[in-house]
Amino acid sequence: MGTSDFSWKLADHPKLPKGKTVAVVVLDGWGEANPDKYNCIHVAQTPTMDSLKQLLLKGSSENGAKRIRVHILTDGRDVLDGSSVGFVETLESDLAKLREKGIDAQIASGGGRMYVTMDRYEVLGEAPYKFRSAVEAVKKLREDPKANDQYLPPFVIVDESGKAVGPIVDGDAVVTINFRADRMVMIAKALEYEDFDKFDRVRFPKIRYAGMLQYDGELKLPSKYLVSPPLIDRTSGEYLVHNGVRTFACRF
């Protein structure tokens, strides 16, 4: 049904009085939380990052993956600053369970969201710090009074000989699981474009790369993705316009 023959009529709401201002507040970000009655994402029965994480880790192992490397970022923007340690410890516990099943699963690298994958200002570069574990890395780097989860310096995890445990190499399959597009365009370019000059990749491995979804429709980037781009129409804003309702939108 096209928008031309679609009825935009709005029915009166029994709880909202006419002529009054209605404020709708949307929090962009949810983090990970206990699945209880206070967790709106859980109550709404929508997919969460908790289940998505398990799908990518457990699901990939159940479908034949024998070697899994996770490149993480710490947030501190949509969740409480300092919560990174707990999240990393939980992830390490999940990976340990996979290792018990004979799957070589480890965290390979990480850093703050503004330095790792989600930077949209094109300042990514080589990780200067090396640690034996991600928990050690996050705890140690946060000892700097100026450090926070969002701007945690990039790090790589190394073995007892000092060799990185999970560099991306030819033949690897790489998936970026972010849903929001604007934060992922640059790293998608770095993973897919042979001609890329925003930072020195040192090498350009031949990988099979896919995004959670297509992050840029005009660039068709990435060319492979797990979920088809959503078709969004008949939004609440369109309803309000068609019914002559004045609105004021802002972000902070």
Q: What's the CATH number where 77 sits?
A: 3.40.1450.10
Q: State mean pLDDT over 98-123.
A: 81
Q: What is the pLDDT of residue 156?
A: 94
Instruction: Say if 6 falls within a structural domain.
Output: no
Instruction: Say if 240 falls within a structural domain.
Output: no
Instruction: Say if 60 falls within a structural domain.
Output: yes
Query: What amino acid is encoded at 149 in this protein?
Result: D
Q: Can you tell me the distance from the alpha carbon of 153 to that of 204, in angstroms, rounded to the nearest whole number?
A: 23
Instruction: Say if 35 falls within a structural domain.
Output: no
Q: Comparing 69 with 22, which gets the higher pLDDT?
A: 69
Instruction: Say if 39 falls within a structural domain.
Output: no
Range of the domain at 189: 48-231
**Region for residue 31 given its phi and psi (left: phi exceeds 0; alpha: psi -120 to 50; beta: otherwise):** left
Q: Say how many domains are in the chain.
A: 1
Answer yes or no: is pLDDT of 109 > 50. Answer: yes
Q: What is the pLDDT of residue 201?
A: 86
Instruction: Say if 23 falls within a structural domain.
Output: no
Instruction: Say if 8 falls within a structural domain.
Output: no
Give the predicted TM-score (pTM) of the model: 0.76
Indicate the range of 81-90, 113-122, 153-162, 241-250 predicted with least confidence.
113-122
Of the pLDDT bands very low, low, confident and very high (cuts 50, 70, 90), residue 124 is very low
Phi/psi for 131 (5° steps) reads: -140, 160
Mean pLDDT score of the chain: 85
